[in-house]
Structure 1
Amino acid sequence: MTISASLPALRAKTLATIDRRRVAVPPYALDSVSVGVAHIGLGAFHRAHQADYFDRLLARDPSWGICATSMNSSATAAGLHVQDGLYTLALLDEAPDYRVIGAIRETLPPRDPAFLARLAAPSTKLVTLTITEKGYCLTPDGELDFDHPGVRRDLSAAANGASTSASTAVGLLAHALQLRRRGGGVGIDVLSCDNLPANGDKLRAAVVSFADRGDRDLGRWIADEVRFPNAMVDAITPASDAALAEKVAAETGVCDAWPVQREAFASWVIGRDVSARFPDLEAVGVVMTSDVAAHERAKLRMLNGAHSVLAYVGLACGVTTVAQAMARPDIADFVGRTMAEEIAPCLATTHGLDLAVYRKSLLQRFANPSVAHHLSQIAWDGSQKLPIRLLGTITENQASGRPVGRLCFGVAAWMRFVVRMTRANSVLTDPLADELTRVARKRTSDAEADVRAFLALRQVFPEGLARSLRFQRGVEAGYRAVIDLERGATLRDFQEYTNPETYPEGREPT
C-alpha cells in the first residue's frame, strides 16, 4: 500500500492537519476569496506558475481568486473540484519546498455555460490563458487560421447564434466579449501566458479578426476596450507522476491526487499596456515593463530554443531527462556552444539582462538533478515550436553571415525524432502528426531526400528558408550526424562538422 492511500484527502477541512512548519498553506481564509480571474487551460504550468503568484497576492487582496477550465479535458477540473480547488506545489531544489495553493476557487468542465458567464461577468477583471502554441489556431505568419476546423466550427456557430460551446479559445473569447459588450460594455484585460512571440498582440489580432467576420462593431469595441498585454513566463515544470504524489503525502500528511512541481526559479514579465483594473502583481514579484519583447525574445530563443535542441539531441543519444543529458559533457558542451555562438549573437542587449550571465544560469538550471524534466515532454508539438524557437534565429544568422550549424543540427534531430517515433508506431504528439507521419514513413535515411521531404512542409518551414542551400546543407549534415548518434557515436565526433562552408545568401552555388 502506498503512503497516500492511507491518508485523508486534501480538502479545505484537512488543511488544519498539515504541519505548517514543514508545508506552507494559504494564509488567508478560503471563504473570503472572490473570483476576479478567469483562466483557460487548467494544466500543470498554470497551477505551478500563475496560480502561485495569485496565491501570494490573495494574502494582500482577496478579490483575485481564479475560476479555471480547459478547452478539452475535464479530468483536472473534476479532480480539483473534489479537493476544494486545493493542490500542492513542490518547488524542486536541493531541499524541496512544499506549498498548498488555494488560488483556484472554482473549476468548471469544458464548454460549461457557467464559465462563459464568468467571462462575461463585470466582476471578472482578468482572463489568463495557457493553451500552448497550437491553441491559438494561427498560421505560420501569426494570423488567425480561418481554415482551422475549430475556427470554422466556431464561426458557423456564431453565425447561427449557437456560440455557447466554442471549440477554440479565440471563439470562446469573442463570444464572451460580445456578452460583456451587450451587458454594459465593461472592458477587461486578457493575458496570454504561452511561449508565443508578441503573444498579446497575436491574441488580440486573432480575436478581433474572428469578431470582425460576424460583427465589425464588436471587433472595434474589442480593439478599443479590451487590453491584450504581451507577457513572458518562465519556470521549468516537469510532468507530475506517482513519485511526486508519494513525496507530497509524506510531507503533508494528506493525499493530494493533483500535485504539481517546478524548479524553484520562476519569472513573469508583463507589458505595461494594462488597464486600471489590472491586479498589483508587482507586489508579488512580477516585472512590469514597457519592453517585454526583449525579455521574451531572449527567453524564447535562449531557453526554449536551447531546450528544444537539447531534447531532440538527447533523445537521439538515448537519454531520458534534461539533467541526464546535461550530465554528459559532450551534450552540455554542444548546448552551451549553441547558446553562446549561435543564439546570443542575434539577441539585442536587454536592460537588466546580461546574456552571458543568463546563459550560465540557464545551463545551471538545465543541470539541476532535482528537476526530472523529461525530454519527451519538451519534444511534443515540435512543428509549432521550431518556427518560434529555432527557425527565426537561423534566418537572422544566415542574413548576417553568422554560423547556424548547431541550430541546423537541432532541426535535423527533430526530423529524426519524427522518423523514429513513426517507425516505432509510437504516438506523435503534434497537431501535424498525420502529415509528419506520412512524410516519415517514406524516409530511407538518405539525408538529402529525407531533408528535402521535411522542408517541403510549409506549415513548418517558410519557403525562403527552405530554399536556402546553406540551410539545406546544414540540416543534411546534421541529419547524417544524428543517424550516427542513434548508433552510439558522441557529439564530440562532430565538433567541427557543424560549420559547413558558408555561402552568403544570394550567392549560393546551384
Structure 2
Amino acid sequence: MTDDGVRPARVRMLHLGAGAFFRAHTAVFTEDAHAGEPAGERWGIAAVAHSSPAVARALRARDGRYGLLELGGGTARGRVVGAVREAHVAAEEPAAVRARLADPEVTVVTVTVTEAGYHHDPVTRRLRAHDPDLQADLAGDPHRTAVGLLVAGLGDRAAAGAPGLSVLVCDNVDDGGPLLAGLVAEFCARTGRGALADWVAEHVRFPTTVVDRIVPAPDERARARVREHLGWADEASVVTETHRQWVITDDLVAPRPAWERAGALLVPDAAPWARAKLRLVNAPHTALALLGGLRGHTTVAGAMADDELAAAVTALLDEELVPTVPAVPRLDPVATARSSLARFADPALAHPLAQIAADTSLKIGPRLLAPALELRRAGRAPTGIGAVLGAWVYALRHATDLPRDPHARRLVAAATTDDPVRAVLGLEDLVPAELGHDRAFLALVTEAHDRLVTDGTPREDTSWT
C-alpha cells in the first residue's frame, strides 16, 4: 500500500513530540481516518520536535512524507504517509508553535514526549519544580518543556478568543489526560495565571488515551529496509509491527479526526484500559529489558529466545500482573498477555532493550510498583516483581553504559551504599513510601539482588548498548 497522493489541504492538528512513535501510530491513524476523502476533509498535522532539528529537517526534506514498513508474522506492508504538513523545532521556533496552538483551525493537540517529558514527580504527579528546564519555563521564555510551551500557547489562544481544543496524551503514563491537566493547572498557579487556568478548565479537554504499537528507534538498517521494500528513501522512515491500538476516552470538546474509522475505540473511560495495557504489555517489556540486559541480550526477541527468561516473564504475567488488571469491557487479560509474549518473540523487529530500559525510574511506578503495592495490601508476596527490581538495583550498582535516566546520578549513588535496595527504594519521589518501607517487600527485592551477586549469572561488563 502506498500514498494515494492526496494530501490534507490545511493544518488542523498539532503534535508535540515528532518521534518515531508518532510517525508510526498517531499520524497513521489520522491519515487512515479520512483515507479516500478529498484534501479538504483530511487532517493535516503540524509536527513539533522538542529540540532535535534532525527530525524536522528529515520531514521537511520530503514535504512531510515518510516511509512506513509494517512487519510481523512473516509479512511486510509498506506505504508512504503524508499526513504531516509542517515540521517545527520548539527550541528554535517557539513563536511558530505557539501560533499554531492559538490557531482556531487547530482543534486537536496530541502529545508523545516520553515519561520524562512531563517533568513531574511520578509519586505525587506534580511538577518537579526544581528541574532546571522547568524553572526556566516558569521564569518565562524560552519554553523548554512541553507543559510550559502548551501553557504559553493556550494563553495565546485564550487571548485571541479562539475556541477550545482537545489535548490527548499518547505516552505510556497512567491516566495521562488528568495528569497533564493537573500539570497545566499547577503551572498556571505557579506563574500567577489563575484566569488562564479557569479558561483551560472551561474550554480544554484532556481525555485519557491508551496507545499500543511497538516502534523500535529507527536506525540506518531500518531505513534501508524501507528503501528496499518501497523504493522510497528518506531519513524519517520508520519500521513497526502490524499490531496497533488506540483507545480514547470519548470526552473531546472540539472537532477531531474520525479515528474510529481507522480502528480506534472511543469509550466512556479509557483509564482501566490504560492500567491494563501498562501491566500486560509495558510491565513485561520492562522485565525483559532489565533481566535480559543482565544476561547479555540486546533485543526483545533475543531475550524471549532465552527459555529461562521467557518462563520467568510468563510467570510474572500469570501470577502477579494478570490478577491485578482491572475489569475492562471486551478485554481478556489472559489472551492479551499471551498476545504480548507472541509479539515480543517475533524476530522481525530488532527492538533494543536499551530503548525500553531508558527512564526506568519513571516507568516502574504504573508498570511494577502499583501492582506490587496492590498485591502487598492483599497479603501476597510479589516475588516476580521483586526479582525485576532486584535486577534494576544490581544494574545500577554494577553495570556499565546504563540506559539514560533523568535520575541516574541519584540512583547510582543510592545503589552504591551499604544497603542498595533500601536506599534505592527509599527515594520517595520515585517509589511510594508504603512500598519503600515495607520490610517484607524490601526483603524480597534484597534476596533477588543478592542472588544475582552470588550466582555469577550477570556479566560484570553488562551493557545495554
TM-score normalised over the length of structure 2? 0.93
Out of 119, 131, 143, the position equivalent to 2:101 is 119
Show structure 2 runs of 5+ residues with no match: 460-465
Residues 189, 260 of structure 1: alpha-carbon distance in 2 compared, 3 angstrom cutoff: same
Shift of 1:331: 1.0
> Which residue number in structure 2 is paired with residue 436 of structure 1?
411
Is residue 134 from structure 1 mapped to residue 116 from structure 2 by the alignment? yes
Q: CA offsets per residue over residues 245-268 of structure 1, 9 Å max, x none?
A: 222222222322221111110000
Distance 1:345 1:415 in 2: 26
Contact 1:91 1:98 in 2 (8 A): yes
Shift of 1:151: 2.2
Q: Per-residue CA shift, 1:410-462, capped at 9, x if unaligned?
A: 111111222233xx3x254011122123234x35xx7xx22122123223222
- In structure 1, distance between residues paired with 2:82 and 2:12: 14
The higher radius of gyration belongs to 1
2:239 and 2:228 map into 1 onto residues whose CA distance is 15
Q: Report the CA distance shift for 1:320/1:209 in structure 2 as closer, same or farther (over 3 A).
A: same
Structure 2 SS opposite 1:92: strand
- Alignment equivalent of 2:81, drawn from 101, 105, 128: 101
Structure 2 Cα separation of the partners of residues 242 and 168 of structure 1: 29
1:167 is the counterpart of 2:144: yes
Instruction: Write out aligned runs for 1:86-485 (5 A).
Output: 86-93=65-72, 94-111=74-91, 112=93, 113-139=95-121, 140-157=123-140, 163=141, 165-213=142-190, 214-421=192-399, 424=400, 426=401, 428-440=403-415, 442=416, 449-483=419-453
Deviation at 1:488, TM superposition (A): 6.1
CA distance in 2, matches of 1:155, 1:367: 45
Could you tell me whether the CA contact under 8 Å between 2:167 and 2:207 is conserved in 1?
A: yes
Query: Letter of the aligned partner of 2:82 in structure 1?
Result: G
Whole-angstrom CA distance in 2 between matches of 1:292 and 1:241? 33
Q: Which residue in 2 is equivalent to 1:41?
A: 17
Structure 1 position 486, deviation (Å)? 5.1
Structure 1 Cα separation of the partners of residues 274 and 97 of structure 2: 30
Distance in 2 (CA, whole Å) between partners of 1:276 and 1:123 is 11
Deviation at 1:28, TM superposition (A): 4.3
Contact 1:341-1:403 within 8 A present in 2 as well: no
Structure 1 letter corresponding to 2:312 = F
Is contact 1:212–1:218 with CA below 8 Å preserved after alignment?
no
Is the Cα contact below 8 Å between 2:107 and 2:254 reproduced in 1? Answer: no
Moved over 4 A (4+): none
Cα deviation for residue 67 of structure 1 reads: 0.5
Structure 1 unpaired stretches of 5+: 1-23, 158-162, 490-510
**TM-fit CA distance, 1:209:** 1.6
Moved more, 385-394 or 58-67: 58-67
Contact between 2:79 and 2:230, CA under 8 Å: does it hold in 1? no
> Match of 1:397, SS?
helix
Q: Cα offset for 1:481?
A: 2.6
Q: CA deviation at 1:29?
A: 2.0
* Alpha carbons 1:317, 1:486 under 8 Å: kept: no
**Per-residue deviation at 1:193?**
0.3
Instruction: Judge conservation of contact 2:386–2:441 (CA < 8 Å) in 1.
Output: yes
Looking at structure 2, the residues matched to 69 and 488 of structure 1 have their Cα atoms a distance apart, in angstroms, of: 41
Cα distance in structure 2, aligned partners of 1:432 and 1:352: 38
Residues 1:75 and 2:54 are matched in the alignment: yes
What amino acid maps onto 1:116 in structure 2? Answer: R
For the residues of structure 1 that align with 2:232 and 2:24, how far apart are their CA atoms? Answer: 19
Inter-partner Cα distance in structure 1 for 2:319 and 2:97? 47
Q: Distance in 2 between matches of 1:185 and 1:488?
A: 57
**The residue matched to 1:96 in structure 2 has which SS?**
strand
Structure 1 CA distance for aligned equivalents of residues 254 and 345 of structure 2 = 41
Amino acid at match of 1:268: W
